[in-house]
Structure 1
């Protein structure tokens, strides 16, 4: 049983760091229009803001889908993401430009948006920043199909 204590301690540290990132972002000085958090489960949030400026999504051992396809941004908006042993999916309309950046630590970021046409120079920009620790962040125009999707 001596081997169990370091494992429990390591998992506690990882979970504490992940929760700390989520709580700091939620209680920080910057106001958020929308936020989604999933701990050991899944959640789907649809944002229909008329003047979206900020949103966030945090998944710890779970999955979050943040649907922004019916939201409107005036010029620029930011979505902050954290995926720790889980996944975050951000759905965006085709009329937005995307700037995806982050820190992957044994995780990754994926831009699955479709550029069917050339966007005008004044198209709104969505900046997606994130942290992916043994998890992933995906930005797409349509939801992913697969066994984890419930109908």
Structure 2
């Protein structure tokens, strides 16, 4: 047993951990990603799991990325920047013992996936062009991190689960400025011995004193 002491994936899991993974599976079934037979099989495997490593293959393929048809949101072209230069689009970001950084002006589909295994994925959405009113990000991590940065005018809904990890919205670095036309980011997934964090930050290059504090 001594060879397992330095490997956190071999630690025993609790019933609460199993319940969190079960919630992810039920969400996937509700979205139509797995059928009822698969849901039953995976739930059975979840509640039979003994250590954290047993949970990894159960949700590893959820979800599969899909590229939506080109569209517009808020009158902004979804496929090109000013001047007609095509915008890059990223439907998935995977980091295995490495790092992936998406930033600048890029096109965000209505669904995308981020998965970090002992690595780090950063999705900077502050200058991104959204193609839908609501964007769903499926963010998963195993002993790694997924950091999502949004600007003041983006609505954030965090619905993921942390198992011996954190799945949360961090402290805002700027005051929210949410309106009726604000895009919504909905973040789902599982953080297994890792962290998924959404942070509202200033726009790149924006001075600290540009936004006034409430009441001034």
Place the TM-score, normalised by the shorter chain, in its bin: 0.7 to 0.9
Matched, 1:132 2:167: no
Using the size of structure 1 for normalisation, the TM-score is 0.72
Contact in 2 for aligned 1:22/1:58 (Cα 8 Å): no
**What displacement does 1:136 show?**
0.5
Question: What aligned pairs does 1:72-151 form with structure 2 within 5 A after superposition?
Answer: 72-73=129-130, 74-112=132-170, 113-114=172-173, 116-142=175-201
Q: Which has the higher strand share?
A: 1
Distance in 2, matches of 1:97 and 1:78, equals 12
1:31 aligned to 2:66?
Answer: yes
Structure (1/2) with the larger helix percentage: 2
- Asked which structure has the greater CA Rg, the reply is 2
Given the superposition, is the C-alpha separation of residues 124 and 15 from structure 1 closer, same or farther in structure 2, using an over 3 Å criterion?
same
Cα offset for 1:117?
Answer: 4.4
Task: Report the Cα distance in structure 2 between the residues aligned to 1:57 and 1:66, rounded to whole angstroms.
Answer: 8
**Match in the other structure for 1:41:** 98
Moved more, 31-40 or 76-85: 31-40
- For the 8 Å contact 1:52–1:71, the answer to whether it is kept is no
Aligned length: 137
Report which structure shows greater RCO (CA 8 Å, sep ≥6): 1
Unaligned runs of 5+ in 1: 144-151
C-alpha RMSD of matched pairs (Å): 3.1
Q: Which blocks of at least 5 consecutive residues in structure 2 are unaligned?
A: 12-50, 68-89, 203-216
Q: Tell me how far 1:22 sits from its aligned partner.
A: 4.3
